[in-house]
Structure 1
């Protein structure tokens, strides 16, 4: 699971163009939205696309996204349990 968390951090920085964020600065339990990385609703859409494209996970219920995208930890756990790729 540690490899998946590191992979997620790399992909988030790359896909969302977070040029001033070093991967080492992102803690597994930091909030992705609001405080923490300060992502917004557009970023949430990018994360949904990333999960579909890279892990074969389609989020049918956008409300679940709030829980899934809480942190790197929660994303990795959800991906590990639901991935098809």
Structure 2
């Protein structure tokens, strides 16, 4: 998986979700994005879905049973984007 995709996603999350006091190096590629990890919630997941669609043409629906795996970590999200992107 391209390292620059991980960095792009870090920047997208910080800017798109307006994560104050979070720097790219604060986001561990294998760390949890939700709950005790980065502390994101279901509204953030919806916003991430919209950003991924706009930027990469990747569709994530709220009812997708793979969502817990897709959003498990930054690495998991990057793998999903890399294998499903249309842009």
Alignment TM-score > 0.5, same fold: yes
Partner of 2:24: 23
Q: CA deviation at 1:63?
A: 2.8
> Aligned to 2:73, which of 52, 57, 71?
71
In the superposition, the TM-score normalised over structure 1's length comes to 0.93
The alignment's C-alpha RMSD in Å is: 1.1
Higher helix share: 1
Q: Which residue of 2 aligns with 1:52?
A: 53
Aligned equivalents of 1:52, 1:65: Cα separation in 2: 15
Q: What is the match of residue 33 of structure 2? A: 32
Question: For 2:82, what is the secondary structure of its paired residue?
Answer: helix
Please report how far the alpha carbon of residue 9 of structure 1 lies from its aligned counterpart in structure 2 after TM superposition. Answer: 0.3
What SS class does the counterpart of residue 36 from structure 2 fall into? coil
After TM superposition, the score normalised by the length of structure 2 is: 0.91
Q: Deviations over 1:11-35 (max 9, x none)?
A: 0000000011111111100100011
How far residue 36 of structure 1 moved from its aligned partner, in angstroms, is 1.1
Equivalent pairs counted in the alignment come to 85
- 1:2 CA displacement: 0.5
